[in-house]
Structure 1
Amino acid sequence: MSTVGDAVAALERAYPPELAESWDAVGLVCGDPAEVVDTVLVCVDPVESTVEEAVELGAQLVVAHHPLLLKGVHGVGADTQKGRLVHRMIRSGVALFCAHTNADSADPGVSDALAAALGLTVTGPLDPKADGRTGIGRVGELAEGEPFSAFVERVAAALPATAWGVRAAGDPGRSVRRVAVSGGAGDSYLGAATAAGVDVFVTADLRHHPAAEHLARPGAPALVDVAHWASEWPWCEQAASVLRSALGGTVGVVVSTRRTDPWTAQVAGAVSRTGRSTG
């Protein structure tokens, strides 16, 4: 038999808590380390739909990337959104473990999973820590170069579909071989991507002004912007593999396929006779 504590130990070996940023909230959120586990659900977001999925599965542990209680709280009353989730999990015998920026920086971590999904061979971190091995983002290479337009199609095919879709900025005919990726919000690493000399940077949550200013600089890599949830979802299978390997087949590990991206629809703006979007 395996316990919650056994699962936590395996996950913390893979994603050491000391790699987490100082502001982050990682580790066991609720649950008894001594409780026996036979089913685990791995997801990006600990939200109502994934907690419901865990209860439906009879899971005793949810492993999530995003923290449930990132900001300080003074209580978890069941009359609050997050409090209701905590109460639901405790009443259902479901523990919650979160690996966030420690999973981002670990080797392998979130961006390694994203790089693998895109068919990249990783050569190192985009923003390395002192050891040169761990850190945020990854730089990698395709086996062969391809046009930027084909690479954008590669990204769209590799990640789960979302209403956000895949947005791209760059010359469609530009040759792409060397690629930087950063799962989650990555516009603070635009400078690092340029310094790395990559052809394209794949990340999420790019904002108008930082992206526009980046693209105006000589030699700047092209950009591919995907939904935050989609960029981190490949990590779920990586974390599931950690548990399957460490716990010797004593637990069933399920990767959630429920889309927890908050955006649910996209409507293209109409184009007026002047050619300007009216949407």
Structure 2
Amino acid sequence: MTPQVQDVVAALENAYPPNLAEPWDAVGLVCGDPQAAVQRVLFCVDPVETTVDAAIDFGAQLLVAHHPLLLRGVHGVPSDDPKGRLVHRLIRSGIALFCAHTNADSADPGVSDALAGAIGMTVTGPLVPHAEGARTGLGRIGVLPEPEPFGDFVRRVADSVPTTAWGVRGAGDPDRPISSVAVCGGSGDSHLSTATAAGVDAFVTADLRHHPAGDHLAQEDVPGRRAPALVDVAHWASEWPWCQQAADTVAATLPDTVEVLVSTRRTDPWTTHVFGATTDLGRTPA
């Protein structure tokens, strides 16, 4: 019996329960017939033109994305609007769209587990648990197989996520030993204080801003408190490992009936990284 879109949705919602989503989020089936037959499913971070192209090229009947297409309220999806155009393309191509966002962030396992796994960490629990003792929640805390200098750890992270123009940046003493680590796929600078309170050696996340990062590192001067070193990766790159996790979930639930594929099309918005001519300025002026 050929599986239907609703069968894949059921597998994904079992893994990433909708009730774990933040109240402001928009998750679930965006468009498509739940009873339509599905043989191929493509997984991606962003539902954008290039991943819709990839879904069409793959012959998929369902596109599973991490980021919502219609996060904020809309009053229409005309085809001359960028998001409306995607909805029209998907429907004309017979492709349903399903989004698992903050419910995938908080699920166990979820987005941050996939990032931790890519880095080579052993996860011990959530960074921000939903309740005391819960395994669900935002971010993850874990340990490395062996301690290593922060400079080597930054290289480890860079080698573990897809390459982007944004790259991977580290803030901290390159020689500092790193053993315990917190990770948060996606934007995580709102959890800087939580990572500090957790007592980890390093915090890996995306979209770190200048002032929050600087204020965080200034805690190095507070007696008895040492803020974790920071590793900043591209938002898309930090969440891309989840795509394989989600694909494996569907493949395991519907074995030999649904073909899954993870999109390798880079949808990070940054395309160019240039170092200027003045590169010899140190942190402390002469």
Matched, 1:42 2:43: yes
* Equivalent of residue 228 in structure 2, options 218, 221, 224: 221
Which residue, 208, 211, 217 being the options, matches 2:210? Answer: 208
Matched, 1:134 2:141: no
Structure 1 residues not aligned, in runs of 5+: none
- Runs of 4+ off more than 4 Å: 272-276
Q: Distance in 2 between matches of 1:268 and 1:76?
A: 41
RMSD across aligned positions (CA): 1.2
Secondary structure at the aligned position of 1:214 is classed as helix
- Taking the aligned partners of 2:112 and 2:262, their CA distance within structure 1 comes to 18
Deviations 1:152-184 (A, max 9, x none): 110011110000000100000000000000000
Gaps of 5+ in 2: 221-225
Q: Relative to structure 1, is the Cα distance of residues 179 and 273 closer, same or farther in structure 2, using a 3 angstrom cutoff?
A: closer
Which amino acid is the alignment partner of residue 244 of structure 1? A
Are residues 1:152 and 2:154 paired? yes
Deviation by residue 1:122-162 (Cα, 9 ceiling, x = unmatched)? 00000000152100000000111000011011001111000
TM-score (norm 2): 0.95
Q: Secondary structure at the match of 1:216?
A: helix
Task: Indicate the residue corresponding to 2:25 in structure 1.
Answer: 24
Partner SS state of residue 36, structure 1: coil
**Is the partner of 2:219 in helix, strand or coil?**
coil
Aligned residues: 276
- CA distance in 2 between counterparts of 1:266 and 1:182 reads 24
Match of residue 64 from structure 1: 65
Counterpart position of 2:223: none
Rounded Cα–Cα distance in structure 2 between residues aligned with 1:4 and 1:238 = 19
Report how far residue 269 of structure 1 moved: 2.2
State the TM-score, normalizing by the size of structure 1: 0.97
Percent sequence identity is 70
| CA-to-aligned-CA distance 1:38-83 (integer Å, 9 cap, x gap) | 0000000000000011011110000000000000000000010000
Partner deviation per Cα, 1:222-248 (whole Å, 9 max, x = no partner): 000000000000000000000000112
Q: SS of the counterpart of 1:145?
A: strand
Q: What does 1:115-264 align with in structure 2 at a 5 Å threshold?
A: 115-130=116-131, 132-218=134-220, 219-264=226-271
- Seen in structure 2, the aligned counterparts of structure 1 residues 251 and 274 have a Cα distance that, compared at 3 Å, is closer
Equivalent residue number for residue 112 of structure 1: 113
Cα drift, residue 275 of structure 1: 6.2
| Cα gap change, 1:93 to 1:200, in 2 (>3 Å) | same
